[in-house]
Structure 1
Amino acid sequence: MGGFLIDFLVCGAGISGLLVTRELLERGASVMLIDRGSIGSEASWAGGGIVSPLYPWRYNDAVTALATRAQHAYPKLVAQLQSSTGIDAQLNVTGLMMLEADDSDRALAWAEHNGHEMASWSPEDIYAREPGLAVGFTEALWMPKIANVRNPRLLKALQHYVASHPNASIAEHCELLGLNCTQGRAESAVLGLGGSSRKVEMGQVIMTTGAWTGNLLQQSQAVLQVAPVKGQMLLYQSEKPLLKGMVLNKGRYLIPRNDNLILAGSTLEFEGFDKVATASAAEDLHTSATAMLPALSTTPRIGHWAGLRPGSPRGVPYIGYLPGLQNVAVNAGHYRNGLVLAPASAELLADIVMNEVPGLDPAPYSPVMRLHDRESERHGLGAPQMGPKWQSPAIELNISDA
């Protein structure tokens, strides 16, 4: 590694980085994918894998457009990866039941407008579907076509695909230290690997660095509003199936897996880059989980972890080129919907950097256009406070014509 030309340097190997890399490879490009840690070990691994925003009608049209496109893409993606790698990511269409939503009229209107199947359910419907739920639920919204994916297996399949591709290389524990730029273009990158730094020449750079994106770019002209939002999860192992499908109540959810695992999530915590899983959060999650499904009170808890989501204004990701840099693009800021939006946002980013006609209007996601309208970025699902800084320094951007 060093002193050679590649088409794309992709920085950050979570779900976004892996899928962007796959898109570029499928279109004939050469790609080097790097990550300062291990492949897929951050938010992409830590999430639940629901292929839908939790309350989709509460997001704006930009998120809905990506989510709808991604939901249609997932079956083909998972099938192709299983065929090429032998790894089944277990896309499971279980449906999603949203209990006691307080804006159901708005939800039903959204579903009709956007062509999504949704029904309003009575208590009889609820308990006919899920007899193990706690008593007392009076209404629900039911979306039968919502799926979940086994995200750790999806990440393994993507890693296998990239690692075995002749036009790709992967470097784990490799950090982007700087970009050497002239006349608004990044000509080379300085990477830190194994205690030494090396220069890599490339055609373009793509930042898929999740919650760390805002800090990485803090010295550039594009201070994107991306900041960490901590989420904690619990994992239960049942001896028998306890749920037929996913259940959501008061922002907390339960996800059944094929092997009788049940995931319970998740918290929303604004504590900077702290990823410590806490006993208090575990008990809070357990209380929420058992309030939905009492059988979990006697079901063994076998896992508890935390991850950092990339929070952004309104939960709309930044997708496109950075201001002042013709060949440095970003795909980050998906907030709670990284897995949900990943196939569609990766496809859109690849369309942009390969100069192909995009399948979606790129304007709502453009860093350039959104930085021109900072006032609007302060509203909606707003970017959280940054909190303590990430320990690694921001990258150096040596822009000679800035």
Structure 2
Amino acid sequence: MQHPDVCIAGAGIIGLSLALELHHRGYRVTVFDQGEPLSESSSAAAGMLAAHDPDNPPQLLPLATLSLSLYPDFLNRVRTLSGRHVPFQTHTTLQSVPLHTATASSELTTKDLTHLLPALTPREHRFILLDEHSLDPRQLASALLAAVHATTIDLRPHTPVLSTRSIGNTVEITTPSGTMHAAQFINCAGAWAAASSHLLNIPVTPKKGQMFSVVLPPSLPMHFVVRTPDVYIVPRTAGPAAGHAIIGATVEDIGFDKIVHPSDIDRLRSLAITLLPVIAEAHQLEAWSGLRPATPDGLPVLGAVPGQPNHFIATGHYRNGILLAPATANVMAQLIVGEASSTDLSPFSPNRFFAELPSP
């Protein structure tokens, strides 16, 4: 397919979710990725759909709420195409909050916590209970990739986008395999978004996160997430990883380094043990790291790229790529086809970074 309607750079959760949405709307889509699809932060994440995490910027809430409302249809579409069911692993989160923000109606007492999870030792933490789902990103990645393969989407791994330029009403996309033209181009390259489009002004940088998985001991039947500002524990309750838990994660500003350091994993384990002492008995399975695409204000970059006709960008989702994938696919598809957006996109406009760029 040499003349698709839309070309997407980046085959992570954002790029492939958008590709499915555009395909559903009848568009011919080609997706390029410099490596293997869904092999970076999309499968490294813990999978919390943390729309109400108090660490999120408040401007993110409408988009996050929209995404939660779209998630059932998104998972149903993936299941219809792939034949694979992606279940929610948990439905509740114990969220640590600062003492001054906890109210009499929301704060859980020590008695409440003991009832929920006898092994929990809250110490200085105050907790509220959130209605919040989580899923296994590796299950989602496998099903999403199978869904894409079941369509006519042209997925090209190990094919980086070297350059793009607007020519009339089309975009010329150059890769090591040659050149193609598309009506529109969308940069969904995550932490590599700036390099992928040579947009040196876009301040999307990688924020490294290390984490590890354990086998929970039989004495700890855990069915909800525990999250503090320093550490989270995310159990797996269904599928091949049932009985395991993900513990994370560091936040490091050290470029594209993905080395896992045992000392950092040990520190995360110690933090988890202060909450759940029985974690000391848990057998470690594996440790890994991912690179989150971060912006200075913690908000995604969604919209048309100023000064580059028919160029769009959707990146900078930081710690919420899994959560925001359905909404990002929805609103970016609306932009592409010229529909009104389901939510206000002004907080995410690329103009906040590109306002000073001259027109070509």
Note whether the superposition's TM-score is higher than 0.5.
yes
Q: Runs of 4+ in structure 1 displaced over 4 angstroms?
A: none
Partner amino acid, structure 1, of 2:162: L
Residue in structure 1 matched with residue 196 of structure 2 by the alignment: 216
The answer to whether the 8 A contact 2:99-2:126 is kept is no
Q: Residue 119 of structure 1: SS of its match in structure 2?
A: coil
| Correspondence for 2:162 | 177
2:133 paired residue number: 147
Offset, 1:54: 6.8
Q: Which amino acid aligns with 1:191?
A: T
Q: 1:178 to 1:217 in 2, by over 3 A?
A: closer
Aligned pairs for 1:387-398 within 5 A: none
Task: Give the aligned partner of residue 212 of structure 2.
Answer: 234
1-structure distance, mates of 2:214, 2:96: 21
Q: Tell me the secondary structure at the aligned position of residue 326 of structure 2.
A: helix
Q: 2:224 aligns with which of 245, 249, 267?
A: 245
Instruction: Note the C-alpha offset of 1:159.
Output: 1.1
Following superposition, the deviation at residue 24 of structure 1 comes to 0.4
Tell me what 2:294 maps to: 311
Paired residue secondary structure (2:268): helix
Residue matched to 1:187: 171
How far did 1:72 drift? Answer: 1.7
State the AA in 2 paired with 1:15.
I
Tell me which amino acid in the other structure corresponds to 1:161.
A
In structure 2, relative to structure 1, the CA distance for the partners of 1:58 and 1:158 (3 Å cut) is: closer
The residue number in structure 2 matching 1:25 is 23
Q: Distance in 2 between matches of 1:56 and 1:100?
A: 8
Check conservation: 1:6, 1:203, Cα contact below 8 A.
Answer: yes
Within-5 A mapping of 1:50-199: 50-53=48-51, 55-56=53-54, 58-61=56-59, 63-105=60-102, 119-134=106-121, 136=123, 139-143=126-130, 145-166=131-152, 168-182=153-167, 186-192=170-176, 197-199=177-179
SS in 2 for 1:315: coil
Kept in 2: contact 1:364–1:370 (CA 8 A): no
Give the Cα–Cα distance (whole angstroms) in 2 for the partners of residues 234 and 103 of structure 1.
32
Superposed displacement of residue 137, structure 1: 5.6
- How many Å apart are 1:188 and its aligned residue? 1.5
Q: State whether residues 90 and 223 of structure 2, in contact with CA within 8 Å, keep that contact through their aligned partners in structure 1.
A: no
- In structure 1, the residue corresponding to 2:221 is in which secondary structure? coil
After superposition, the Cα gap between the structure-2 partners of 1:286 and 1:188, relative to the gap in structure 1 and judged at 3 Å, is same
Identity in percent:
26
In structure 2, the gaps of 5 or more residues are: none
Question: Match of 1:382?
Answer: none
Output the CA distance in 1 between the equivalents of 2:297 and 2:84.
Answer: 34
Q: Is the 8 A contact 2:88 2:133 kept in 1?
A: yes
Cα distance, 1:157–1:103 mapped onto 2, change above 3 Å: farther
Taking the aligned partners of 1:52 and 1:131, their CA distance within structure 2 comes to: 24
User: Within 5 Å, which residues of 2 pair with 1:272-311?
Assistant: 272-311=255-294
Matching residue of 1:390: none
* Gapped regions of structure 1 (runs ≥ 5): 110-117, 375-398
Provide the C-alpha distance between the structure 1 equivalents of 2:46 and 2:335, rounded to a whole number of angstroms: 29
Q: Hey, what's the Cα distance between the residues in 1 that align with 2:333 and 2:186?
A: 10
Between the two proteins, the alignment pairs up a number of residues equal to 355
Q: State the alpha-carbon separation in 1 of the partners of residues 73 and 167 from structure 2.
A: 41
1:370 CA drift (Å): 4.6
1:15 aligns with 2:1: no
Q: Which residue of 2 aligns with 1:368?
A: 351
Specify the SS of the correspondent of 2:81: helix
Task: Determine the C-alpha separation between the residues in 2 that align with 1:180 and 1:64.
Answer: 34
Amino acid at match of 2:205: A
The residue type equivalent to 1:152 in the other structure is R
Q: Which string of whole-angstrom CA distances, capped at 9 and with x for unpartnered residues, describes residues 138-173 of structure 1?
A: 631111x2000111111121111111113x111111
- Deviation track 1:56-110 (CA, whole Å, cap 9, x = no partner) reads 365122x1111111112222322332233121222234311013534424xx69x
The answer as to whether partners of 1:132 and 1:243 remain within 8 angstroms in 2 is no
For residue 320 of structure 2, the aligned residue among 327, 331, 337 is 337
Distance (whole Å) between structure 2 residues aligned to residue 369 and residue 250 of structure 1: 28
Q: Secondary structure at the match of 1:170?
A: strand
1:132 to 1:217, Cα distance in 2 relative to 1, 3 A? same
Amino acid at match of 1:46: A
